[in-house]
Chain A
Amino acid sequence: MLQRIRGALGRGALDGAEAGRLRAQLADPPANRTPAGSRGSPETLLRRFVAKLRGVSASVDGVAALAELPVALERYLAADGLPRRIRVAPHPELLGLPWSTAGLEAGYGPAGDADAVGVSRAYAGVAESGTLLLCSGPESPTTLNFLPDTHVVVLATSELEGSYEAVWRRLRAAGEPRAFLPRTVNWITGPSRTADIEQTLQMGIHGPRRLHVVLVGEGLQEACAEA
């Protein structure tokens, strides 16, 4: 096949210098021109992120510290009449939380068909489009993102980035060139939807019907307040 391609392009294999130059760009990609919508102060990005999340039909809550997560989550589930049994990612920050004190029944690990509420720990958020970025791994089962009817995603405000490119940079810095990605990287922008029946938008086909984002950080009251 490669021979056929080279024949059509009217050349042989790339010479060593050209291939070396392109390979160097794969190992250390040139920076992208990012849109203005991905830039701004941390406060601007946070406000944009929250507005974009609501724009794609996600709900947003804020807590000052992770220890407050169980109570905040219980409040959200109770308000919508959702089950109190939750399936939680075995992430170190989520493992010791006082779920039962808040009246929740938590199990840790990947999701099965019977799990109605999944709780994940995001790797990053992207303010540009209100996108959550989740990486698969021992502490972050991918099934939690798709099988439960309600998906709760926990994100620290310090992990919020302006652009997708900033997240690629973080992942690259933490691993080997070209080998830094986990098996699955999920960009999630809102709950599951379809327009396949007469182009009419409907929420919740195969994935979660509800996407609820809990931001963890200081001074979130104002940013998370409903407009």
Chain B
Amino acid sequence: MQPRCRDFPANVRAALADAPLQAALAKTAGGFPKKRLQGIATLPEFELMRDRATAIREHVLDHLDFYLEEFAERVEATGGQVHWCADAEAARAAVLGICQAAGARTVTKGKSMIGEEIAINDHLERHGIRPVETDLGEYIIQLRGETPSHIVAPAIHVSQAQVAETFRAHHRGLPPGRPLETPRQLLTEARETLRREFLAADVGITGANLLVAETGTSLIVTNEGNGDLTQTLPRVHIVLASIEKLVPTLEDATTVLRVLPRSITGQEMTVYTTFSSGPRRPGDPDGPEQFHVVLLDNGRSELLGGELRAILRCIRCGACLGHCPIWSNVGGHAYGWIYSGPMGAALTPALLGLPEAWHLPQASTLCGRCEAVCPVRIPIPQLLRRWRARAWSAGKPPGVARPLLRAWAWLARRPRLYHRLSNLAARVLARLGRGGALRSLPGAGGWCRSRDLPAPEGRTFLAQWQARRGGRE
């Protein structure tokens, strides 16, 4: 997909004016915090497990070269093949090569953000191979020609009625008058349609939630079972994974799994958690004959030594999206590429560059909820601030914002003057608003167009603080 991160401000305006999207978000986005709280209530040791998961992910990043070599050695020992890919183009070429060597016509796909990142579907289609998404949400958005709006709930922006419309438009062989009013009817139709694809596919492509160095294992978590049919029925199984997905041992994977589903769906464990090591073994009655792991770097190794590396700890649970006041109001598409919300704002500039993505780190109130819920404690607000500093050095934001911000910085570095001016402003605004609200204010037109500005009730916080402390002493 062509990134549209440059258009973020316009995307946001469009998202806020998009009534069906707003209805979908209002209906669903609020559910994520509740589910997470239910999930962590089932594990009294949740905070301890978060600490452990964080330490595991940091340890892996410190020794990434070692664990990648160990992982690759085990994959090859079990009869699999590892493909080292520096960038998206190399990964696309590797996948296409495997598919062509297998004479593939149809490829089923489990959910993979790396598949989205390298736009593998377009590439396969251009070469006459038909990719079929099998996660229900991914399937719906593939039919609609869209990208995921949430990394775990990709079709969260689509209403049930829109799903029915989409199925009617694409499932051509079925009676046009069939009832598609209930989720059950939609599910049955999707199940039957995709079952035929599973059985016909020559190659199955899955992502990996984790890679285990101990045993050369790739691991996926799903609730539908689509990932398992994708990797069990075809002759060839391809795993798409980025290099930072490693954990050392099965014990470490287990610790991460105790915090992953709880953080997003609230489940103690996903329905299907599957560990795959190599192709089918002698005597196995089913399973793929070939097992390939495509390892993608795509700029990640450059982050390892720098101040932004904590984003590489991310396990893609999606908790930060559903807890973000920005994401919850505009959804994922406004961000303009595949990763959205706070983690997307922290990762996308590294993958696409600041000229494309500089807007995204600005799209945050820095309220800190993302960091508070992150199962691997990524200090996302801090990363966003670092991106903002880099963007500033690169001339972003441009225009009138620069002298204004410079003036603010000049003032903020002079505390006495700052306090005197803010005291004055508080008094003037309080008088103008007469203790209530201001309908309009020069320089705050953007705010006042849609709501009143509450007027200060009296003196500034610092003035009150000093008065109280003075009273106590």
- In the bound complex, residues from chain B placing their C-beta under 8 Å from that of A165 are 251, 254
Q: Is the CB of B273 within 8 A of A187?
A: yes
Q: Which of B91-99, B296-304, B313-321, B349-357 contacts A (4 or more CB under 8 A)?
A: B296-304
A125 within 8 Å of B by Cβ?
Answer: no
Interface centre among B65, B154, B159, B284 (most CB of A within 10 A): B65
Q: Which of A63-71, A75-83, A94-102, A143-151 contacts B (4 or more CB under 8 A)?
A: A143-151
Q: Which residue of B lies closest to A179 (CB)?
A: B77
Q: Is the CB of A183 within 8 A of B63?
A: no
- In the bound complex, residues from chain B placing their C-beta under 8 Å from that of A13 are 65-66
Q: Which of B5-13, B182-190, B448-456 contacts A (4 or more CB under 8 A)?
A: B182-190
> How far is B117's CA from A44's CA once the two chains are assembled, in angstroms?
46
- In the bound complex, residues from chain B placing their C-beta under 8 Å from that of A184 are 232, 274-277, 287
Q: Is the CB of A35 within 8 A of B45?
A: yes
Q: Is the CB of A186 within 8 A of B301?
A: no
A52 within 8 Å of B by Cβ?
Answer: yes
- In the bound complex, residues from chain B placing their C-beta under 8 Å from that of A182 are 277, 281
Q: Smallest CB–CB gap between A51 and chain B, Å? A: 12
Q: Smallest CB–CB gap between B231 and chain A, Å? A: 8
Contact for B195 among A32, A113, A145, CB less than 8 A: A113
> How far is B157's CA from A197's CA once the two chains are assembled, in angstroms?
9
Interface of A is mostly: loop
Q: Which residue of A lies closest to B48 (CB)?
A: A33
Q: Which of B118-126, B222-230, B394-402 contacts A (4 or more CB under 8 A)?
A: B222-230
Q: Is the CB of A181 within 8 A of B215?
A: yes
Contact for A186 among B31, B274, B283, B285, CB less than 8 A: B274
Tell me how many residues of B have a C-beta within 8 Å of chain A: 97
Q: Smallest CB–CB gap between B307 and chain A, Å? A: 12
Q: Is the CB of B225 within 8 A of A8?
A: no
Q: Which residue of B lies closest to A23 (CB)?
A: B70
- In the bound complex, residues from chain A placing their C-beta under 8 Å from that of B215 are 178-181
B window 127-152: CB within 8 A of A: 134-137, 140
Q: Is the CB of A26 within 8 A of B283?
A: no
Given A2-B68, A184-B275, A185-B275, verify A25-B248 contact (CB < 8 Å): yes
Given A2-B68, A8-B301, verify A56-B24 contact (CB < 8 Å): no
Q: Is the CB of A1 within 8 A of B69?
A: no
Q: Is the CB of B186 within 8 A of A197?
A: yes
Q: Is the CB of B281 within 8 A of A178?
A: no
A157 within 8 Å of B by Cβ?
Answer: no
> How far is B224's CA from A8's CA once the two chains are assembled, in angstroms?
39
Q: Is the CB of B280 within 8 A of A183?
A: yes
B347 within 8 Å of A by Cβ?
Answer: no
- In the bound complex, residues from chain B placing their C-beta under 8 Å from that of A30 are 251
B211 within 8 Å of A by Cβ?
Answer: no
Q: Is the CB of A138 within 8 A of B283?
A: yes
Q: Which residue of A lies closest to B66 (CB)?
A: A14
Q: Smallest CB–CB gap between A206 and chain B, Å? A: 4
A221 within 8 Å of B by Cβ?
Answer: no
A219 within 8 Å of B by Cβ?
Answer: no
Given A30-B251, A207-B272, verify A146-B214 contact (CB < 8 Å): no
A200 within 8 Å of B by Cβ?
Answer: yes
- In the bound complex, residues from chain B placing their C-beta under 8 Å from that of A14 are 63, 65-66
Given A2-B69, A199-B31, verify A168-B275 contact (CB < 8 Å): no
Contact for A205 among B136, B156, B251, CB less than 8 A: B136
Chain B 304-333 interface 0/1 with A at a Cβ cutoff of 8 Å (1 = within): 111000000000000000000000000000
A window 1-44: CB within 8 A of B: 1-2, 4-10, 13-14, 19, 22-23, 25-26, 29-33, 35-37
- In the bound complex, residues from chain A placing their C-beta under 8 Å from that of B229 are 146-147, 206-207
Chain A 188-202 interface 0/1 with B at a Cβ cutoff of 8 Å (1 = within): 111111111111101
Q: Which residue of A lies closest to B43 (CB)?
A: A35
- In the bound complex, residues from chain B placing their C-beta under 8 Å from that of A192 are 223-225, 271-272
A120 within 8 Å of B by Cβ?
Answer: no
Q: Is the CB of B28 within 8 A of A193?
A: no
Q: Which of B261-269, B335-343, B376-384, B420-428 contacts A (4 or more CB under 8 A)?
A: B261-269
- In the bound complex, residues from chain B placing their C-beta under 8 Å from that of A178 are 74, 214-215
Q: Pick 5 A–B contacts, CB within 8 A, sort by A.
A: A1-B297, A5-B243, A30-B251, A183-B284, A206-B225
Residue positions of A touching B, CB distance < 8 A: 1-2, 4-10, 13-14, 19, 22-23, 25-26, 29-33, 35-37, 52, 56, 90, 109-110, 113, 128-131, 136-138, 141-143, 145-147, 164-165, 168, 178-200, 202, 204-208
Closest 8 interchain pairs by CB? A207-B225, A196-B137, A8-B304, A187-B273, A29-B249, A8-B305, A138-B283, A185-B275
Residue positions of B touching A, CB distance < 8 A: 24, 27-28, 31, 42-45, 48-49, 52, 62-66, 68-70, 74, 77-78, 84, 86, 134-137, 140, 153-156, 159-160, 163, 183-184, 186-187, 190-191, 194-195, 198-199, 213-215, 217, 223-226, 228-229, 232-233, 243, 248-252, 254-255, 257-258, 265, 267-281, 283-287, 295, 297, 301-306
